Structure 1
Amino acid sequence: MARRRGTEPGPATISDVARRVGVATSTVSRALTRPGRVSDALRLRVLAAAAELGYQPNPQARSLTSGRTGCVALLVQDVTNPYFCGLIRGTQTQLRSRGYRHLLVDLENNDEIEEAALAELPSAVDGMVVMGAHVSDDRLREVARRVPVVVINRELDGVPSVVVDTPSALEDALQYLVSLGHRRIAYAAGPKPSWSSRKRWAALQGAAERLGVTCERIGPFSPGKLAGAAAADAALHIGVTACIFFNDLLAIGALKRFAERGVAVPGDISVVGCDDIFGADFCNPPLTTITAPTEQVGRTATDMLLARLHPGDAETAALPERVKLPAPLTIRASVASARPAQAEPAPPRPAAALGETVS
């Protein structure tokens, strides 16, 4: 507690911190909420004084004086999907370093919940990072006119975006399968509203045509392990030798279904996932997949949003409005050479007489 002149001991205020450091209260505010606007040395002095005095910023008071809440929302489709762990961590780390609170919103792959969140949140937060939105482009643009927005894995004119280049990576995966002798391959698509699933399918179609092989689309499927069983059955029904799945959860669910049906992976069918989530490397067999840099995605998207909230900050001024991050193919044990087609059985030969040599 700090004892202020003429008062009883009470909670330390920003004025107490300013007096201790010998600067204006506005400078302390910048050091705590917009560190890019002050020197590192001054920011460290302010932080040390705040810690010594026990000063805790009041978010409500800051909101009333600045018109801002100090809170940024991250919207994800399914918080139980391990794909989002790195994304959440990257976003949270960047926001904490800039003095913002982090509001995580799970949309539960539910369009009604998504619509309600997009309607309500703009008046409650300073900005939003939106991952895998299902709403239309026009609806997202409307939201972005109300509050700064950055979208992930979707490109939208007028709205900053970070995209993982999975379409190019899946082209690499297809070429790898072709090099192993696969000529008939399936793509198990994600949800119908998914922008990234449509882009991946378009890339695979173009690559298949260039390589002279067949790539058939099955689905769409919900992006979870339970839907993987249906995707596996569909792939077996059309008789492909390999299947590329929209994400790792679908692929892992398919691995379980293949095992239940006595189908060997990769002996009978090769499997490729997408995302490289936690667990992809120790499922049975370990999954060949596209490795998405999710934590980097979260950090980049958050920096792009902060650039919108604080124009002119040196830390974020150089960021473009669109960023595309590469995603390498990680090869593990779920892919192997295509099993060669079995030759037609030869017609039966007459039995040889005793002692006759059959050549």
Structure 2
Amino acid sequence: MIPARTTRCTGPNHVQGCCAPTATAIDTKWLAAALGLPPVAITTVAANAFSGGFSPIVKSLLCVEYDATVPAEESSRPAALFMKLLPADTTNLVHRLGDAIVPMLQQAHRVEAAFYAHAMQFEQLRSIVPRAYHADCHQAILLADLSSFGFKPLSPWSVDLTEGPDVDRTALLAIVDTLATLHTSTGVIPAGSLLTWDALIQSRTDRVMIPVKHDAKALETLLHLFCAHFRPDAPVLLRNLCSRAAAVGYAAIVRAISTTSGIAHILHGDPNPGNVLYNAVDSRALLVDFQDTAADAPAVVDIARLLISAMHSRSRASLEAELVSTYVAKANIVHRDQFTRDLHLALLADAILIMASVAFTLETKAPALFYALGERSIACLRDHAAEMVEALQGL
């Protein structure tokens, strides 16, 4: 059981008199201000930084000790916190990632901070995310560390190139239920705080197209390179599908998703299992990493991202219908057939993004993650090729 939480969040702007720290200098006074405590309330704080995958955002576990003589509510004295910190100096990031990527990174952090600040105001959202103690759209986000309450991140991938990750059926049903809660949440979202549907499409398109200079032919070449590398014997249908998908483009495919499939009040944007905290005892899932969160976007996009990142194609074939049934019932989706058709379009769009990223990194010592995602993506295309070709016909 998660302890009772107050609805206090200090974002989305700076705390008064509180300047976010650098990764190497976590200040007790800054942390006290972020938690709404007197400056002398915290005696020590230890920051244990760890790798955050491929994002340059610094992630740390903060272990905190308090001065027992300073009065404060017990709920505002977390012994451990998870911190996400946007580097203040972007010079090195520009050198590493390019000047086009850094603004995307900054935008993603602003969106996530805005979401947490919004979520803490509404009970429905507080039930599906960790407590946010501080959400600074300029630099730092502080979340409750729930590991001691049995919540652990699910593994989003496998290094085995012949098997994609397989998330347990019970966990998948819990995630689908949580996504339905997110999608049907109520409450007024501050204008401009989250991405619009068009802005999300543009952001995702840029991640693929910036490296290939927005050249559709270059994208087609990347997709064929992917097929040649992972499946030299790729069937003609699959190669033709890649060519057709490249010609149509990611943006056109996702814009073809019908609003009759259901619109999410809030779309997570990237609900892969690595962005889920799961309690196996209670079969309860919480969501984290809201960097791609959008308002009023097709809900099916989240379900597609979950399926393509959580299941091997063989498992998806047997579980997809059950997961879709569970979701449409909880989210009150009326047009199930349209939802399923759009799900395959969204799966195709996600596969394009992943395949292009994989192909682009083939010559740069691509990490095992990219290869595992590539294996899973091409399996998705192979298994759903007929439905996807039909879905593409009118685009």
Which TM-score bucket, shorter chain as reference? under 0.3
* Larger-Rg structure: 1
> Which one has the bigger helix percentage?
2
Q: TM-score, normalised by structure 2?
A: 0.20
